[in-house]
Amino acid sequence: MESDLFRRQATWYGGRGLFATQPISKDTLLHTCPFPYASVIYRVFRKEVCGLCFAYAFDAGRNAWNIKLENGTGIWFCSEGCRDRWIRDESSEIVPAMNAAIDKLAKMAEKKQRSVAADSARIFTEIPKVESLTQDFIDEAWVIAENSAATQLPTLSEMELDTVRFVLSAILRRHAEDSGLQKTMPSPLDSWPALLELQNNELHFYRARPHALPSNLRIYAFIRRIVLTDVPALATYLATFETVHAVLARDPGNVFGMYEMNEEGDSEMLGWCMYVSASYFNHDCAPNVRKKRMGRELHFFATRDIAPGEELCTNYIDVKDTVTDRRKELAANWYFDCVCDRCKRELGATDDN
């Protein structure tokens, strides 16, 4: 990573992490991602969350935002400034066409539900047994899906349609990057080649959630159909399954939930984002880094003084929970057994364990 304060290097427990290269004082701003590479606001919240800065209407004492694109569907803004910046910065012609296509095809698929289900290849519907879920099995499933995807129009759940929007936002960003349309170029640390360097977690993910493999293959088939029929500008990214697969394989374990407090004072997830360079902060149950989302920017600050050589870690889960609950959650939703010192201490473990 290009920073005076830290560098990316291999960890003793596997994978990469970020390590301080000089003394860092408490509250130092360590890293900023100016905007996510890919993001989605859940459809149910799209009138309540600004399409540019992610401001939540509830925080401003409102039920919804009312500023829209003139020709657009599916995106609301908290201010004319955000709308105008979105038009200036994003590929504004493609997005409304894409959103309209998603809605149209989702309705078409719903109407044709029976016949489509009957025609579908088993790969799109059958939940694989955990024992059969090897990397070879997954790779083969994608090849089969690619060979049959052109004619498929699967019916998707609301969650799957949100995932379609998420993946398409990544494809759009890649297209903007490749074609020079991107007005504010991201740093190389937040580019498509950098995204490909993120840890691929699909094997752990599908073994924990076998239904997600056919679901992701349906998502791919649906995206391919949308692009081929309604968004030809993105067709090169759908010539093979690689782009969709690359995003879906890196989503689990790398993305950030978009959380806000709701009326009841509970934390509500409004969508999720992929901030590529931010994904290199590993987890620690006694973190020395805290993250703060400010609009669509994600900032990371030191929570205490940090010595050179120390790993910079944030927390992926609520660290107020007990050691048993923390480890259960990390294993279930993040697919790893935490190696942090606090866990070791609280488990009464020795270094050999």
Ligand X SMILES: C[S@@+](CC[C@H](N)C(=O)[O-])C[C@H]1O[C@@H](n2cnc3c(N)ncnc32)[C@H](O)[C@@H]1O
Work out how close the CB of 124 gets to ligand X at its nearest, in angstroms, rounded to a whole number. 27
Burial class from Cβ neighbours inside 10 Å (0-12, 13-18, 19+) for residue 209 reads middle
| Residue 41 to residue 85: CA distance in whole angstroms | 18
* Residue span 239-268 as binding mask against ligand X, x where in contact by CB under 6 A, dash where not: --------------xx--------------
294 phi/psi in degrees, rounded to 5: -120, 105
Number of Cα atoms under 13 Å in the Cβ half of residue 50: 23
Q: Could you tell me the smallest distance in angstroms from the CB atom of residue 207 to ligand X?
A: 13
Contacts with ligand X in 186-205 (CB under 6 A)?
A: 198-199, 201
Which residue stretch of 110-118, 149-157, 292-300, 333-341 sits at the interface with ligand X (rule: CB under 6 A)? 333-341
- DSSP letter assigned to residue 309: T
Q: Which of 230, 323, 335, 344 binds ligand X (CB under 6 A)?
A: 335
Q: Does 15 bind ligand X (CB under 6 A)?
A: yes
Q: Which residue has the tokens 């291999």?
A: 10
Min CB(62)–ligand X separation in Å: 34
The rounded distance, in Å, linking the Cα atoms of 319 and 326 is 7
Kindly tell me which residue out of 124, 220, 275, 280 binds ligand X, with binding defined by CB under 6 A. Answer: 280
Min. distance of Cβ 160 from ligand X in angstroms? 23
Q: Which position among 101, 106, 227, 338 is part of the footprint of ligand X (CB under 6 A)?
A: 338
Where does this chain touch ligand X (CB under 6 A) — which range of 112-120, 137-145, 261-269, 278-286?
A: 278-286
Q: Strand 76-77 relative to strand 297-302: parallel, antiparallel, unpaired?
A: unpaired
Shortest distance, position 199 Cβ to ligand X, whole Å:
4
Q: Which residues of 244-279 are buried (b: 16+ CB within 10 A; e: fewer)?
A: bbbbbbbbbbbbbebebeeeeeeebebbbbbbbbbb
CA 78, chain centre distance (Å) = 23
Can you give the binding site for ligand X, defined by CB under 6 A? Answer: 13, 15-17, 198-199, 201, 253-254, 279-280, 282-284, 334-336, 338-340
